[in-house]
Structure 1
């Protein structure tokens, strides 16, 4: 019960604002129960309907969730708070970041000279050279790229796409487990998430069919290196999902191809499947630098026009200094070699941990990307147990809606010897947890 924070207000708006203030300031932590409607109404001297209206607004905005007889509690990913990752305690190996190894990121060299222009870049927001490179990048995987545009990263792009297409309360199909920042974003936009189960080939057909029939207005998915499981579409799965989506032409399909390689084999993608409403966003943060807040976007003409129309009214354009920097990186052969070396190293390190865990009898998933997803019975026990042994891993709760418990381990900087030590420690922690359950 929320006993250390006093909720105030005499109107529904005031009560909701008071709760939001408590969440934002950290006084109402995730999972804390709010007072029952009638009790809070008596304390504040208002009607039960006023409190119920306040709680309804808080639920719509993703600040709280209601568990039937379990009452109303602060959401695990309350959208009012800026949920930045916790600081890694000193002395621990950080395996929770999801970030690339800096050894395989190039040194960023912004252009030495950008001539000032009269007015702004709104009339010509994109550099022709970067447009050409972006078209070629998409076309390599068969994605129609006659038209492309830019944004300030994948989440910025997806937020704009969803906000111009949907209204609060509309349903969005998302992967479960899925990218935690995307799940937070959908909630913050006031949209309703419909979880779609994921296996080693991405979204499962049965789960997607159920979501489409439930009336979702949009679908957000990853064609490869799905976060957190590492799943990637096969051609067969891509074709199955595309056939379903074509039965619902009004549904906007947004592919977050955040792990798109700069070179290499083609990847199956829904964006190349002849859909009516679609968009694919690609970023370079995992390959060229986490501070490069740039994304390329391809899509159908209506979707791109709506995206650019909204962007014109807000930030206007992506910095031309940033665009020039990306052009230089895309065009540098030394950068291409460094990125290719990183691709090889990431695969070796990921497979090293999967193999080491397997030798200890521990099942895990991670066919692609920078992470390994490990199903466990008790996330907290595993996270805390590994912490006492010097490892900092991510609890799966941030990534899940209805899928089973697990932990996510970032392997981008984990060498083979360290992977073996981690697997051994992981097995010990699971043994201790088993003894607790059976003891």
Structure 2
């Protein structure tokens, strides 16, 4: 329990400021309402990280609430990592946001200990374009721009706009897809907001949303993308935003189809729901991009990542959408790093505009498609059906996740557990396997061990 009797030596002079800040935001006298009010006061900098909370009884008395209500609110805030106990100091406001990439760490906990490591979800370094010629060319470029220059290079913006999947009034560059997702969550969401997310989904996104205190609403998938009825239920539940991957969905490999995109757009049209589409495999996906944002551009922010196609260490993703959605993101980013390195932006522009690196990315696309097809086909020969159709990760159903991980480990094969990708409890046992890291010479061996680990009894769906 957080709080209780007042802590000896409590700084009474600070109490009026914190209580008053919460009181100004308090419109709902429930535990959820109190937690929401606390979160809004924290976002407004009226409550400082590291500050000690008053006792539960003090808060209850000052806000005319029951101690039970305050205690329940404090538990919600603790689960969202906004407050924590700090020994003799009692309960304090957390420093920073959340506990970091909890799910992501769990998904990668076996990384680096195997002869065949298929746990990372990363591209094959040997298939990335050679940066040498581009680096030589940009060294001959002009001087760095002013700190006040716009956050995206004009020539890069024009290149991106030429084939952007939906109408984009404003564009910017972020330090990778996760940075873009974090910026959106930090700017557009508040503690307690309901947010629709595919089931299963990308662990870093789930980490970000859980750190903000969002209430995640799972959206089911089938072979055509997010299930329309599930999106409709999420909208009825009052989601503030929906986060979707339109192709090569990580981890299932599902790709959105044109009819499904139109159906979902019909559900979202005229609704006050932010749609965030993030394309993690842009450049290396073999499937043409289909987006919902094409039909509802006024609701949509689209993210195109370049980590898988051009290299994770570039840390680059393009973000575009209507001015009403994009300008708050850019203003918020100016409070922090301000912009993504224009040197890296010039490097990306060069890679996108010269024949040799473009050809290298096309070769990688074909190789990744072949590697995925080879492993999926080999697993099918062993009776293991894999859903989806694209990407560098496959979603493998197993009967016992822990036992499957141990069996694969005993054969020197590392894969990621499926539990960190899942929202519902209990999690359905699966493994996330990075096919992009698997040369053809190892396919037969890996497929045989994976099939043995999976031991399927009946054909299973993708989720």
Give the shorter-chain TM-score range: 0.7 to 0.9
Report the TM-score, using the length of structure 1 for normalisation. Answer: 0.79
Say whether 1:395 aligns with 2:417: yes
Alignment of 1:153-232 (within 5 A): 153-232=176-255
Q: Is the 8 A contact 1:257 1:282 kept in 2?
A: yes
* Cα distance in 2 for residues equivalent to 1:185 and 1:174: 12
Q: Is the 8 A contact 1:245 1:275 kept in 2?
A: no
1:357-379 per-position Cα deviation (integer Å, ceiling 9, x unaligned): 11111121241000111112211
Q: Is the 8 A contact 1:174 1:196 kept in 2?
A: yes
* Cα distance in 2 for residues equivalent to 1:114 and 1:102: 27
* Cα distance in 2 for residues equivalent to 1:176 and 1:86: 21
> Matched residue of 1:287: which SS?
helix
| Closer, same or farther: CA 355–401 of 1 in aligned 2, 3 Å | same
> Matched residue of 1:286: which SS?
helix
Deviation, structure 1 residue 430: 3.9
* Cα distance in 1 for residues equivalent to 2:292 and 2:457: 42
Deviation, structure 1 residue 137: 3.4
Say whether 1:112 aligns with 2:124: no
Deviation, structure 1 residue 413: 2.3
* Cα distance in 1 for residues equivalent to 2:101 and 2:317: 22
Q: How many residues align?
A: 380
Match among 99, 103, 126 for residue 80 of structure 1 = 99
Which residue number in structure 2 is paired with residue 412 of structure 1? 436
Q: Is the 8 A contact 1:100 1:413 kept in 2?
A: yes
Say whether 1:306 aligns with 2:328: yes
* Cα distance in 2 for residues equivalent to 1:87 and 1:8: 38
Moved more, 149-158 or 94-103: 149-158
| Closer, same or farther: CA 260–432 of 1 in aligned 2, 3 Å | closer
Report the TM-score, using the length of structure 2 for normalisation. Answer: 0.75
Say whether 1:356 aligns with 2:378: yes
> Matched residue of 1:196: which SS?
strand
Alignment of 1:22-421 (within 5 A): 52-61=72-81, 79-83=98-102, 84=105, 85-86=108-109, 88=111, 90-109=113-132, 110=135, 111-113=138-140, 116=143, 120-138=146-164, 141=165, 143-248=166-271, 250-261=272-283, 266-402=288-424, 404-421=428-445
> Matched residue of 1:280: which SS?
strand
| Closer, same or farther: CA 58–114 of 1 in aligned 2, 3 Å | farther
| Closer, same or farther: CA 217–8 of 1 in aligned 2, 3 Å | closer
Q: Is the 8 A contact 1:114 1:321 kept in 2?
A: no
Structure 2: state its 5+ residue gaps: 11-66, 85-96, 459-463
* Cα distance in 2 for residues equivalent to 1:163 and 1:360: 45
* Cα distance in 2 for residues equivalent to 1:168 and 1:263: 35
| Closer, same or farther: CA 264–408 of 1 in aligned 2, 3 Å | closer
| Closer, same or farther: CA 387–10 of 1 in aligned 2, 3 Å | farther
Which residue number in structure 2 is paired with residue 25 of structure 1? none
Deviation, structure 1 residue 145: 3.4
Deviation, structure 1 residue 313: 1.9
> Matched residue of 2:111: which SS?
coil
Q: Is the 8 A contact 2:194 2:216 kept in 1?
A: yes
Q: Is the 8 A contact 2:383 2:456 kept in 1?
A: no
* Cα distance in 1 for residues equivalent to 2:440 and 2:313: 28
| Closer, same or farther: CA 93–426 of 1 in aligned 2, 3 Å | same
Q: Is the 8 A contact 2:246 2:279 kept in 1?
A: yes
* Cα distance in 1 for residues equivalent to 2:337 and 2:184: 15
Deviation, structure 1 residue 258: 1.7
| Closer, same or farther: CA 265–352 of 1 in aligned 2, 3 Å | closer
> Matched residue of 1:123: which SS?
coil
> Matched residue of 2:276: which SS?
strand
1:307-358 per-position Cα deviation (integer Å, ceiling 9, x unaligned): 1111122211111111111111111211111111111111111011111111
> Matched residue of 1:167: which SS?
coil
